[in-house]
Structure 1
């Protein structure tokens, strides 16, 4: 991994590692802000699996743990692309719950939440770039297409060779029939 790429991933992941640890230690401070979002998500989770706990504090802890682990994976470069996608997924409810600037009546609070909302939007963009980054190597789609093209060319070569050999065999057979024997 190139130094710039490594440094960028560490810088991008820092906020997720720090906030993940902080929010795991004290999820209670986030419960009031997260409640409106978790109330909407809880029925969906219950439909998936009825035994999964859907109380707000547990969902905040799960989101925090996911951000901590995903941040560490992104920082170390281990499964960085999937980690970036997972972090992007955790950032959406975090941003909606934590910075709903459209609900603030106070101009200062509205401005502060709008700045943090836009900051998280920028982080989301960075995570999407990290998720799409193939480190200069061809992506899966290109490699699959290249393999298919390579296989197709190999089959065409085999068919041409078989035709050529069949013509040669036919000529040899015709020549053998004409010879007195």
Structure 2
């Protein structure tokens, strides 16, 4: 499984690194598509600029950075979540097939939308991959189970000691 992770992470990250660098270098075309989404996004997240071109560049830098971290296996779960978060506005702004005017562009946009949906699924899998180590929920559950067992043993021991103490008194 280690080999699969080492191969799959850079493969998944490559699109984001390439796309992120392209967004930084050539934000023009993408900022036109981001124009309808940018004000809504900026209103919901404090501190984000309203200028679509600046948002596209920020998104590109985020994608390139998180993609590089994922490819290198550094903070893979966090970087996968960050990439998944960047994918949502990118997909909604760039591949809104439901708004396409002609059949050809609708088919192409739907294809890209579904591709991004698949990548989103891969990122979610990468985000929950604990690399074979138990996750926090498993650790907490087993710690609680161990604590319950220790409490039962302690209670049994206390009853035994109390019974011995009563027997000595009589």
Task: Give CA-to-partner distance per residue, 1:67-95, whole Å, 9 cap, x none.
Answer: 11111121122221121111111101101
SS state of the match for residue 138, structure 1? coil
Aligned position for 2:59: 63
The 2-side partners of 1:92 and 1:119 are apart by 12
The 1-side partners of 2:134 and 2:166 are apart by 45
RMSD: 1.5
Task: Give CA-to-partner distance per residue, 1:107-153, whole Å, 9 cap, x none.
Answer: 22221111111111110111111112222222211110110110111
TM norm structure 1: 0.87
Rg comparison, structure with higher value: 1
Unaligned 5+ runs, structure 2: none
Aligned counterparts, 1:120-159, within 5 A: 120-159=116-155
Aligned position for 2:2: 2
Aligned position for 1:18: 18
Unaligned 5+ runs, structure 1: 175-181
Aligned residues: 170
1:114 aligned onto 2:110: yes
The 2-side partners of 1:54 and 1:170 are apart by 78
Aligned counterparts, 1:68-107, within 5 A: 68-107=64-103
TM norm structure 2: 0.92
Aligned position for 1:179: none
Cα offset, 1:106, TM superposition:
2.3
